Each structure stands twice: as C-alpha cells, then as structure tokens.
Amino acid sequence: MSKRIVIIGGGIAGLSAGIYSQRNGFDTEIIEMNNLPGGQCTAWDRKGYRFDHCLHWLVGTARGPYHQIWKETNVINDGVKIIDQEIHTKVVDENGDEFIIYTNIDRWKNYLLEMAPEDSISINRMCNEMKKISILETSSNPPGMRSWVDSLNMYIKIMPVIPLFLRYKTKTVHDYIEILNFKNRRLIYFLDALYGQSDFSVIAFLMMLSWFDQNNAGYLVGGSLPLTIRMSEKYKALGGKLSLVNKADKIIVSNDKATGIILSNGTRIDADYVISAADGYTTIFKMLDGKYQTEQIKEAYTSWPLFTPFVQVSFGINKKIKSTVANQLFLAKGMSIGRTSLEKGYTLMNYSFDTTMAPREKTVIILRFESPWELWKDLSGEEYLTEKKQIEKDAVAILKKQFPEVDQYLEVIDIATPKTGVRYTGVWKGSYEGFLPTNQNLTKNIGMTLPKLNNFYMCGQWLSPGGGIPPAAQSGKWAIQLICKKEQMKFTAE
C-alpha cells in the first residue's frame, strides 16, 4: 500500500509537493481552503478582462535548477510563450524626470555612463559585480541531501564570487551606494529611491538584475492563472486528489509525530506524513499551537521585516492603449491614495504586451502601491468600503494624469487590498513574499522540518527570506526528496 501524504494548501508550494509526491508513488491529497488552487499566484476575470495578481517575472525561465522544476511541473512546456522585457522598470519622479533600468546590463551600463560620466569607475564596478554574481545558483537538492561531490562542485563553481559575497553579505543597497561613492546626484537619488529605503540586501539586488541580464527571469504569456492551472492539471493527471473549499484547522500530533489533520468542519484526515504549504505563521502558531518553535523561528517571526503588502487597482479600458514599457514606477513624495501615503510611489503596469489579458482593442492597466498592514488590519464594514471608494477616486485621478480621456473608456475598476489577500489565502499580514531579504537575514532560513516533530514538513514562501514562486515550488520538491530519503526510496523527478 502507498504511504499517504496530506498537504495543507494548494498554492505553488503545495501543488509542487503534490506533483512530486504522486510521481514518487505516494497517495496524496491537497487540502485547499479557497475554491481554486494557486494561492497568491492568481488572477480574476471581470467582464472579459483578466486582472493578474502575481506574475511579473519568473526566475528560471531559461536555465538552472528552477528551470528544471518548471519543466517537471508543467509550468513551462513547449506551448508556453516567454517574454523577456527590455526594460525592467521606468521610473518617473514628481518633476517628470525619468530613469530607466534596462534588463540587459551592458545596455544599462551605457545608459548610466551617458548620464553620469563622472561615475564611470563606480558604474563599471557595479555592472561587473552584477555579471559576476550571476554564477551564484540555488542547489538542486535540499540541505541534508547534498553529497560532498555536489558541495565540492558547487564550491568550485562559486569560488570566484566568494570574496564579493563575503564583502557584501551584511550590506544594504543604501550601503552599497555609499561604498561605490557615486557623485552624480541624479543617479544616487534614483537608485536610493528604488532600492535604498529599506534594509534590502545588496546581494539580492545584484542577483535580481543579473537574472534579467541572462534572460532567465521572463514573463509567461497568460500570467499567473494558466500557470497554476497547468500545475494542478499535472497533479490531477498523476492521480493526485485536490480538495477545494476545505480548511485545515489543526495538525494531529501523537507522540511527537504528525499523523493527520483536522478540518474546520471537524473531519479528520489520517496520513503517514503531513506537509504544510499554508501560511507559515498559521502553521506554526495556530495549527501546531506554537509548540515546536525553534530559535530561528522565534527570531524570524519577531524581528525579520516583511514585504509590505500591496493595494492593486485594476482598470479594464475599452480602448487600445499601447505602451513600449510594461512597468513604470512613479515617485510621489507627499501624495496619498486613500489613507496610504505613497512613500515608495506607485506602479502602473500596462498589460498590452500580453494579448490574453483583455479583449481585442481593449486594455488592462494595473496600478499598485504598498500599503502597510497596520492601516488595514482593523478596517471593516462601512469604514473599509469607504476607504475602497476613496482609493478608486484617487486612483482614477492618477490614471487621468497619464491618459486624460480615460474615464470615457473605463469599463471596470477592481480593487484588491491587503485584506483581500489575507481573506483568500491567509497570508500573514498580507506579506506577499514573506520575509524581506535584508543584510541581516539573507543567509538564514527556517528549516523544512521541526526538530522535535516527526513526519512533518513545511514548504512555501515563508522558509527563506525573499519568497516568490521559485523557492515556493522548490521547497515543495525538496519536501518530497526528504520524505523519499526517510522512506529509503530513490527520488524521481521525471
């Protein structure tokens, strides 16, 4: 008889764990509280428009261990078209001054050199460091399953970049700007406004831009929803069971061993292994009553900063609005939308590059801005609706600045707040990628197992700072690799 695995949560991590567990002969059930799988990687349809709530870019669209996972889980197949944008972001400040980040590092370097010839040494150094760091790659195997040959090969491969890693591992982007000693005020201003206002790790910054340079962080046409549908279809085709609109309340523990779960309707599901791919805070502090915390968990959940949640205002526009730049960031010091002051500005994303998002001759534009969870956590009822109305009014006014006659063509306005994400997925404090990768936590992570709890595994965005779809999917795969090891079975990915 196959061993039985119950997986809590049908987001990217849960679907990945489901696919690999079925492939390895387990009898698997995914319990998902929402009425569709995908978790935060999702989109919704309104009057023929599709409003995407996740995918801008996916690391691993061209190569590497993540790419392997995308092929194994049907996220990427021969029918999936990938777009590599030429411009990562165009930034426009309050005075209309523009700054562009090109995805190709050489092109960006030339642009920066033209803008700030006096900083040629620093610009060359920054761009060289981005190129150099591109050899850093995630491991194919989970911690504890890396053979010494794998480790040695990895070490040899990354050796040239180790001094750079050690030099910067505790540095923020803000520190980096100072270390490089730029002189051009405009360059400093834009870099700082983009990445320098938090403890965002400089290693994360360099790596992010290096992925784009390698055309290894593309956009999948169709966006988030077809991506998750492809995964869930794969899971079901392999014989996996997906139970929607079912919420797990507790993990059953007997003699420090997870033996199943209890749903909110009281149903008990027994299993040989429990994997939680649900929100990390809920898993550790509610489903397990906080009993199996480690020191690392305590540190993370009390002191690591989180990604600030977004408000997303989606516009369905009955007119073709073409754009050469997909993603624009507008700095907006002193401005507010609703009760949120736009400390980091707002982005406007014109989806005309993906024709599946709107009917012919129509356009989807999405406006997003960060809005701290503290502003939302106690809002409800009339107060919540009033805030949404104010956001709609302010957001339309902003859109009209770009496209003065747009209100004649507006067919749909849809607002998703941090509360929307929490309601549908339970994501802690609306933090859509979990813990922010900072100069303090970049090399840390929360283990996939809890030392004193047997037959229990965690996967998903909450395990390592930075979150995102790739680590979520990878941790699902890793959980099954670990279970196969425990069962003394040979893991198969194909």
Ligand X SMILES: Cc1cc2nc3c(=O)[nH]c(=O)nc-3n(C[C@H](O)[C@H](O)[C@H](O)COP(=O)(O)OP(=O)(O)OC[C@H]3O[C@@H](n4cnc5c(N)ncnc54)[C@H](O)[C@@H]3O)c2cc1C
The residues of the shown chain that bind ligand X, judged by CB under 6 A, are 8-14, 31-34, 39-41, 53-58, 247-248, 277-279, 282, 310, 421, 425-427, 432-433, 460-461, 467-470, 472
Q: Which is nearer to ligand X, 39 or 338 (CB)?
A: 39
Q: Which is nearer to ligand X, 316 or 466 (CB)?
A: 466
CB of 432 to ligand X, least distance (A): 3
Q: Which is nearer to ligand X, 34 or 122 (CB)?
A: 34
Q: Which is nearer to ligand X, 22 or 232 (CB)?
A: 232
Q: Give the pairing of strands 456-458 and 273-276.
A: parallel
Q: Which is nearer to ligand X, 188 or 329 (CB)?
A: 329
Q: Which is nearer to ligand X, 24 or 308 (CB)?
A: 308
Q: Which residue has the tokens 């998703």?
A: 416
CB of 150 to ligand X, least distance (A): 25
* Alpha-carbon 194 to chain mean position: 18
Q: Which is nearer to ligand X, 20 or 432 (CB)?
A: 432
Q: Which is nearer to ligand X, 316 or 465 (CB)?
A: 465
CB of 482 to ligand X, least distance (A): 17
CB of 467 to ligand X, least distance (A): 4
CB of 118 to ligand X, least distance (A): 35
Of the candidates 69, 133, 131, the one whose C-alpha atom is nearest the C-alpha of residue 106 is 131
CB of 36 to ligand X, least distance (A): 9
Query: What is the distance between the alpha carbons of residues 48 and 37, in angstroms, rounded to a whole number?
Result: 21
For 421, the token pair is 């994400």
Residues written for the chain = 494
Q: Which is nearer to ligand X, 187 or 480 (CB)?
A: 480
CB of 12 to ligand X, least distance (A): 4
List the beta bridge partners of residue 218: 58
276 by Cβ neighbours in 10 Å (0-12 / 13-18 / 19+) ranks as: buried
CB of 299 to ligand X, least distance (A): 20
Phi and psi (nearest 5°) for 286?
Answer: -110, -55
Q: Which is nearer to ligand X, 61 or 122 (CB)?
A: 61
Query: What is the distance between the alpha carbons of residues 48 and 27, in angstroms, rounded to a whole number?
Result: 38
CB of 412 to ligand X, least distance (A): 18
CB of 250 to ligand X, least distance (A): 9
Torsion of CA 65, 71, 77, 80, to 10 degrees: -40
Q: Which is nearer to ligand X, 91 or 116 (CB)?
A: 91
CB of 237 to ligand X, least distance (A): 20
CB of 151 to ligand X, least distance (A): 27
Q: Which is nearer to ligand X, 465 or 467 (CB)?
A: 467
CB of 310 to ligand X, least distance (A): 5
3-state SS record for the chain: CCCEEEEECCEHHHHHHHHHHHHCCCEEEEECCCCCCECCCCEEEECCEEEECCCCCEECCCCHHHHHHHHHCCCCCCCCCEECCCEEEEEECCCCCEEEEECCHHHHHHHHHHHCHHHHHHHHHHHHHHHHHCCCCCCCCCCCCCCHHHHHHHHHHHHHHHHHHHHHCCCEHHHHHHHHCCCCHHHHHHHHHHHCCCCEEHHHHHHHHHHHHCCCEEEECCCHHHHHHHHHHHHHHCCCEEECCCCEEEEEEECCEEEEEEECCCCEEECCEEEECCCHHHHHHHHCCCCCCCHHHHHHHHHCCECCCEEEEEEEECCCCCCCCCEEEECCCCCEECCEECCCCEEEEEHHHCCCCCCCCCEEEEEEEECCHHHCCCCCHHHHHHHHHHHHHHHHHHHHHHCCCHHHCEEEEEEECHHHHHHHHCCHHHCCCCECCECCCCCCCCCCCECCEECEEECCCCCCCCCCHHHHHHHHHHHHHHHHHHCCCCCCCC
Q: Which is nearer to ligand X, 10 or 171 (CB)?
A: 10
